[in-house]
Structure 1
Amino acid sequence: MNRIGLKEFVERGTTNEYLRPFVSKCKTSNPNVFIVGINPASSILKTDVDHDVDRYIDLIMDRESFLTFIQQKNIEKGKRPFSKTRIGLNQLVNQLETQSNEAIEVLETNINAYATPTAKKLKAIHPSIKQSGQEWFHKLMREHTPAVVIVHSLDATRDLMKWLIANEMIQSSVYNRSYRLRDWIDLGPIPINYPSGATGVVFCTKHLKYYGWKGNAFQQLREDVLTQFNER
């Protein structure tokens, strides 16, 4: 991964906070499962890391350190250690990696690296800025060609499908603008054909803020993802 290019990207477009294109397990990660949301809900200010972009890069490239940092930051502000979405994401990541006997390595990412409190506020950003915030996600998809992409929420699903179709990675017939999230979920694994010749699948699911600590309502999703690796 090009660290110089990553540093330039995370500092782009804002004077107060860093963009967050991903959180990886470690610096040497080679992820094969992407969990994709629409965008981060909370930002990390440059002052939070003393304007040290290298420290920030080290954080997002070390999941355990990143989670400790977020937890401490929230507690200092009188908030809960983790949001409902973060709890669900943590649990899903842990269950997939553990239940696959480490055959799965997850990269946490988003369609857009700009943090906003709600998806609605992301839509209000100028289109050119919003487009630039997606560049690193597109780069990650092409570089790692994940075997499984788990996309959560309707907004993220629509944006991902439009990009995959525009780049001829999935069949255009898959997309239907009238689909509800339930319709996307019911499609099951959607095949991806990467430009490199690699293949993968997309699973659509509801927002991870509904996951909880056990993720009982997401059991079928976990089983379907694990099956993809059992069959390889």
Structure 2
Amino acid sequence: MLKINLPENFILPSQNTPFPEVELALDEPNGLIAIGGDLSSERLIDAYQRGIFPWYGENEPVMWYCPNPRMVITPEALRISKSLNKVLRSNQFTLKTNHDFEQVIYHCKSIKRKGQNSTWIDERMVRAYTQLYAQGVVQSVEVYQDAKLIGGLYGVRMGKVFFGESMFSLVSNASKIAFVHLVQNMGYDLIDCQVENPHLKSLGAFNIERDAFIQRLDELLLK
């Protein structure tokens, strides 16, 4: 259990307790803005509209973050290497959207990741995002090879913004293929990548200040 001295208003004792203003988020851990509350659809939708997302470890309470800086990508910034472009042009993959969300989140939850002993996707998050998916707020992208699911991603969609949550690959480059499809073909002006990630940085993702992210978010949620 992470032990942090928090301002009193960072504790969310009930589902009706509002989030603090994001500019009050801690510098360390970067972006921590609240602890507690629940993962109801109403709470999650309110969080994403404010630029806040849940992220916590096993046996921890729900922890909410709005980090500074924020990693994002736009269609104009997408960078595709020659080797990845060759893979994309090979026509050996089939891309689908919202075809098998349950398997996508299952693989994101269970896949082994380098440098990580456990996943941040627990059963509470699976239930919460499955409910949001049923409401049309969550979207998944699937990559198939020979009719087998080999990669994908999921996240929250609002207006012209996609908030990326997690991705997985069972075959080299599969998650990159899903990500490129998301950025190029799905009509979003901004994809939130949350925190710096070398995998996404290689594709053109970049950091912006939190204030700039929130301002852009407010604009694009209205589209």
- Per the TM superposition, whether the score is higher than 0.5 is no
**More contact order relative to length (CA 8 Å, sep ≥ 6):** 1
Greater share of residues in helix: 1
Q: Which has the higher strand share?
A: 2
- TM-score normalised by L of structure 1: 0.29
